[in-house]
């Protein structure tokens, strides 16, 4: 293959006063490496080693905000008062390597389901008690509960800032709580917080961002992860048109978002007919905020094809980078998240920079299967065997 020039991906970028050394991001990926919500030393080592391996930014796995309804399984991280000591050690490990770290703030909403044969003491909360248009789960939130949860996002963001984190990422994607508000199929409320009008469905996600911004101040970066697809429905969409997507982005940007992390199956798949732009490219069209692209970088197939279609997945670093740099040069994104390839090789970024493509450790689907198995094997779990998609690997 012809040598490609990717040096531009190693130029620094500044996001609301925070300078990253390059454009490569380790995205949030749950790995079943917490115990009773406490991040373990293995999880801390994963993040610090990826920074040592060259990543410009690591975003922690989906982290439950400090509210009972966000608590799911003991292997998923929580940023609660009881876990602060472990969090401090993990953040310090990244900072000691000279790295930058965001905490991803997460609430599962109606996707919070109990282990088979078990029940939660309290029902899961969501906009309308729906996990999809045809799947009931939990119950609708009251306005008082919405305020509680908004305030839990805020207190958790403040805690992250106090730990020395460089920013937070609000998880508004993949069919979880804030995405459930945006998705018409799961938000059928008849009040000002939902229903047919997108402006109403946007109101609570924007309120959460605005409240976080007020609490952390103007100079603390806030990212927002969003997607069309859901873990429960890969064909689900929050925006039926570019115009609706523009409204979503501009509303969230006005609320205080500094960085958009646009999650798709494959980074170079066109989003709407009549244009070659992927969803990240549309985001760059509509907002002045930096944009992260993601989806199959370094590999032969996207996650969904690997999981549900049995597509063979192996390293394809140079070919995907060649397509990636073309879109980067076209101004379609500012940063790139590399997920599954980073699970295989903690030095992926350094090896790419030095052109050592043949030294990149091989990715295989067994890596995901091992993570998924960890959800059922972990001490304290109620024998709930999670699937790979429930494990939160999306890149």
What confidence tens digit (pLDDT) does each residue in 62-119 have?
A: 999 999 999 988 788 999 999 999 999 999 999 999 999 999 999 999 999 776 677 8
**Is residue 111 in a domain?**
yes
Question: Catalytic residue at 176?
Answer: yes
Tell me 273's DSSP state: T
More confident position, 340 or 387? 340
pLDDT of 379 > 90? The answer is no
pLDDT of 394 > 70? The answer is no
Q: What is the mean pLDDT of the chain?
A: 92
More confident position, 30 or 252? 252
Confidence band, pLDDT 50/70/90 cuts, at residue 388 = very low
Yes or no: say if 355 and 34 are a contact pair by the CB < 8 Å rule: no
What pLDDT is stored for residue 302 in this prediction?
Answer: 80
**Average pLDDT score over residue span 221-225:** 99
**Average pLDDT score over residue span 249-262:** 99
Q: Is residue 209 left, alpha or beta, with left meaning phi > 0 and alpha meaning psi from -120 to 50?
A: alpha
**Average pLDDT score over residue span 341-364:** 97
**Average pLDDT score over residue span 206-224:** 99
C-alpha 100/C-alpha 58 separation (Å) is 6
**Is residue 1 in a domain?**
no
Yes or no: say if 297 and 336 are a contact pair by the CB < 8 Å rule: yes
Structure tokens of 187? 């938000």
C-alpha 348/C-alpha 298 separation (Å) is 9
Q: For residue 246, give its domain range.
A: 7-391
pLDDT of 391 > 50? The answer is no
Q: Coil, strand, or helix at residue 156?
A: helix
What pLDDT is stored for residue 288 in this prediction?
Answer: 98
Give how many domains the chain has, as a whole number: 1
Q: How far apart are the first and last CA of the chain?
A: 25
Q: Give the strand pairing for 139-140 and 125-126.
A: parallel
DSSP output for 352-388: HHTT-GGGSPPP-THHHHHHHHHHHHSTT--S----T
Provide CB contacts within 8 A for 132, sequence distance 6+: 175, 185, 186, 230, 232, 233, 236
**Is residue 187 in a domain?**
yes
**Is residue 2 in a domain?**
no
What confidence tens digit (pLDDT) does each residue in 142-201 have?
A: 999 999 999 999 999 999 999 999 999 999 999 999 999 999 999 999 999 999 999 999
Confidence band, pLDDT 50/70/90 cuts, at residue 35 = very high
pLDDT of 264 > 50? The answer is yes
**Is residue 57 in a domain?**
yes
**Is residue 222 in a domain?**
yes
pLDDT of 38 > 90? The answer is yes
CATH number for the domain harbouring residue 49: 3.20.20.70
Give the count of alpha carbons within 13 A of 81, CB side only: 4
C-alpha 174/C-alpha 9 separation (Å) is 27
Provide CB contacts within 8 A for 205, sequence distance 6+: 170, 172, 178, 181, 182, 252
Confidence band, pLDDT 50/70/90 cuts, at residue 390 = very low
What pLDDT is stored for residue 221 in this prediction?
Answer: 99
What pLDDT is stored for residue 118 in this prediction?
Answer: 77
pLDDT of 233 > 60? The answer is yes
Catalytic member of 176, 224, 357, 363 = 176
C-alpha 270/C-alpha 310 separation (Å) is 22
What pLDDT is stored for residue 389 in this prediction?
Answer: 42
C-alpha 359/C-alpha 7 separation (Å) is 19
- Predicted model pTM: 0.94
C-alpha 13/C-alpha 34 separation (Å) is 32
pLDDT of 372 > 90? The answer is no
**Average pLDDT score over residue span 248-270:** 98
C-alpha 394/C-alpha 263 separation (Å) is 8
What pLDDT is stored for residue 46 in this prediction?
Answer: 97
């Amino acid at each position: 293959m012809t040598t490609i020039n990717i040096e531009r991906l190693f130029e620094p970028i500044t996001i609301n006063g925070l300078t990253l050394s390059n454009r490569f991001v380790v995205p949030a990926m749950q790995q079943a490496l917490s115990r009773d919500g406490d991040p373990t030393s293995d999880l801390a080592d994963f993040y610090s080693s990826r920074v040592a391996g060259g990543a410009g930014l690591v975003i922690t796995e989906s982290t439950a905000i400090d509210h009972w309804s966000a608590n799911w399984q003991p292997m998923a991280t929580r940023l609660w008062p009881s876990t602060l000591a472990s969090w401090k050690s993990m953040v310090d490990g990244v900072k000691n390597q000279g790295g930058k770290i965001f905490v991803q703030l997460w609430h599962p909403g109606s996707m919070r389901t109990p282990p088979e044969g078990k029940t939660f003491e309290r029902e899961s909360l969501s906009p309308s008690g729906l996990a999809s248009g045809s799947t009931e789960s939990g119950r609708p939130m009251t306005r008082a509960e919405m305020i509680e949860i908004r305030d839990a996002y805020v207190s958790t963001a403040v805690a992250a800032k106090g730990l020395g984190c460089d920013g937070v990422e609000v998880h508004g994607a993949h069919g979880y709580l804030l995405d459930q508000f945006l998705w018409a199929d799961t938000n059928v409320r008849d009040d000002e917080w939902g229903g047919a009008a997108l402006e109403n469905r946007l109101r609570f996600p924007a309120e959460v961002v605005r409240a976080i911004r007020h609490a952390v101040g103007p100079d603390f970066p806030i990212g927002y992860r969003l997607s069309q697809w859901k873990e429960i429905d890969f064909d689900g969409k929050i925006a039926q048109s570019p115009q609706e997507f523009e409204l979503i982005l501009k509303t969230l940007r006005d609320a205080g978002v500094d960085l958009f992390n646009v999650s798709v199956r494959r980074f170079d798949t066109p989003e709407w007919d009549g244009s070659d732009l992927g969803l990240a490219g549309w985001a760059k069209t509509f907002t002045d905020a930096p944009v992260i692209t993601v989806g199959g970088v370094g590999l032969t197939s996207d996650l969904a094809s690997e999981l549900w279609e049995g597509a063979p997945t192996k390293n394809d670093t140079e070919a995907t980078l060649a397509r990636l740099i073309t879109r980067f040069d076209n101004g379609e994104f500012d940063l790139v998240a590399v997920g599954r390839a980073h699970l295989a090789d903690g030095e992926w970024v350094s090896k790419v920079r030095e052109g050592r493509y043949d030294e990149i450790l091989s990715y295989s689907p067994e890596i995901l299967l091992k993570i998924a198995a960890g959800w059922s094997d972990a001490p304290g779990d109620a024998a709930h065997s999670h699937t790979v998609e429930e494990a939160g690997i999306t890149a």
